[in-house]
Amino acid sequence: MNHLPQAWGRPRDDVYGAYDHSHFQTSGPIQHTQSPIVTGTSVVAAKFKDGVVIAADNLASYGSLARFTDVKRLRKFNDQVVVGFGGDVSDMQYLDRLLNSLDIRENYSSSETALNAKNLHTYLAKVMYKRRSDFNPLWNHLLIAGLDGEDKPFLASADLLGTTFTSPTLATGFGAHLAQPILRRTLPDDASVEDVDQETAVKLVKEAMKVLFYRDARSMDRYSIAVITKTGVELHEDEKLENQSWQFAEQIRGYGTQVN
């Protein structure tokens, strides 16, 4: 029994190390996010002739710990825009609230046309660029999927530095390495978008999700997928990759120390 009241209810120094009181210090320079904490992995998306498909799994990781397994990383903004979030989850939640208040202000008057995906991408890119310029970045990589002002498919990205680009297919994080090459096989350029229908695009994106599940350690087989077309947004938040199994791994011979 320790007789110092300050010690009661506290982690033992000899076990957990000394507590760093400097965290309570209020003076000193303002500290901003130095690194993401709870994170979501890839977001993948592909255009097709009538719209866009976008998908992200439902996992939020805390380092290598699979911390939350039912997180919605696709956010429907309105009937023509979905935003996919990769990166820090708390920054995602902040952006979600920001989009909510934007939507409310947009709907004060009903006559004006709704914000489309292009508008929203411009807005979000400026938010991201402003925050990086303030040295206070929102640690996310966003994909904005939907329709532009002419009801044509729109897909663009914005990251924590405020960098923006658009492409017929996009993938963030690990997906940029693993999914993007697969997606580009079917959609190499803008012209090819016209030749791809919804079914093909959905199949393609699901295939990309499968590859990511197998090869990205911070991923899982529960995911959300959304299809945005002129008729609106079709969002499913609890999809499961079918028939996935690591059974085959046991049969593999010849890797590493296992030689026969």
Partner 1 sequence: MVSPLADTSIGTGYDLSNSVFSPDGRNFQVEYAVKAVENGGTAVGIRCKDGVVLALEKLVTSRLLKAGANKRISTIDRNIGVVSSGLLPDGRHFVSRARDEAASWRSMYKAPIPSSALANRMGSYVQAYTLYSSVRPFGVTAIVAGWDSEAELPVDGQVGAGPKVGSGGKKEGQKHGGPFLYMIEPSGLYWGYYGAATGKGRQIAKSELEKLNLADGELSLEEGVKEAARIIYVAHDDNKDKEFELEMTWISSLSGPTKGRHEEVPKELREEAEKLAKKSLDDDEDEEEEKMEE
Partner 2 sequence: MASVFSGAPPQGGPGYSFTQTPRAAPSGERQHGFYPYTDNGGSTLGISGADFTILAGDTRSTSGYNINTRYAPKLFKIGGEGPDNKGAQIVLSVVGFAADGDALKERLDTIVKMYKYQHGKNMTVSACAQRLSHILYNKRFFPYYVHAILGGLDEEGKGALYSYDPVGSYEREQCRAAGAAASLIMPFLDNQVNFKNQYMPGSGTGHNLQARQAQPLPQNDVEELVRDAFTSAVERHIEVGDGLQMMIITRDGIAETFTPLKKD
Interacting residues with partner 1 (CB under 8 A): 38, 60, 68-72, 75, 89, 92-93, 95-97, 100-101, 103-104, 107-111
Cβ-proximal residues to 63 (8 Å cutoff; 6+ apart), any chain? none
Catalytic annotation, pick one of 26, 33, 122, 231: 33
Cβ-proximal residues to 126 (8 Å cutoff; 6+ apart), any chain? 162
- Binding residues for partner 2 (CB under 8 A): 2, 4, 6-7, 12-22, 25, 27-29, 32-35, 129, 132-133, 135, 137, 157, 161-167, 170, 176-177, 180, 189-190
Q: How crowded is residue 139: how many other Cβ atoms within 10 Å of its Cβ? A: 20
| Contacted entry of partner 1, partner 2, none for residue 127, CB cut-off 5 to 8 Å set by kind | none
| Contacted entry of partner 1, partner 2, none for residue 107, CB cut-off 5 to 8 Å set by kind | partner 1
Region label for 232, one of left (φ > 0), alpha (ψ between -120 and 50) or beta (otherwise): left
> Active-site residue 163, yes or no?
no
- Looking at residue 22, the DSSP 8-state letter turns out to be G
C-alpha distances in Å from residue 110, one per residue of 98, 106, 107, 251: 20, 8, 6, 61
* Sign of the dihedral defined by the CA atoms of residues 33, 35, 39, 42, in that order: positive
Instruction: Tell me how far apart the alpha carbons of residues 88 and 111 are, in angstroms, rounded to a whole number.
Output: 36
| Contacted entry of partner 1, partner 2, none for residue 231, CB cut-off 5 to 8 Å set by kind | none
Strand partners for 48: 51
Rounded least distance, CB 14 to partner 1, Å: 34
* CB 139 within 8 Å of CB 92: no
Q: How crowded is residue 253: how many other Cβ atoms within 10 Å of its Cβ? A: 8
- Nearer residue to partner 2 within complex by CB, 148 or 237: 148
Rounded least distance, CB 163 to partner 2, Å: 5
- Nearer residue to partner 1 within complex by CB, 89 or 125: 89
| Contacted entry of partner 2, partner 1, none for residue 25, CB cut-off 5 to 8 Å set by kind | partner 2
Rounded least distance, CB 25 to partner 2, Å: 4
| Contacted entry of partner 2, partner 1, none for residue 219, CB cut-off 5 to 8 Å set by kind | none
Report which of 134, 133, 169, 173 is spatially closest to residue 153, judged by C-alpha positions.
169
Rounded least distance, CB 85 to partner 1, Å: 9
Rounded least distance, CB 41 to partner 1, Å: 15
- Nearer residue to partner 1 within complex by CB, 58 or 186: 58
Strand partners for 83: 75, 144
Catalytic residues: 33
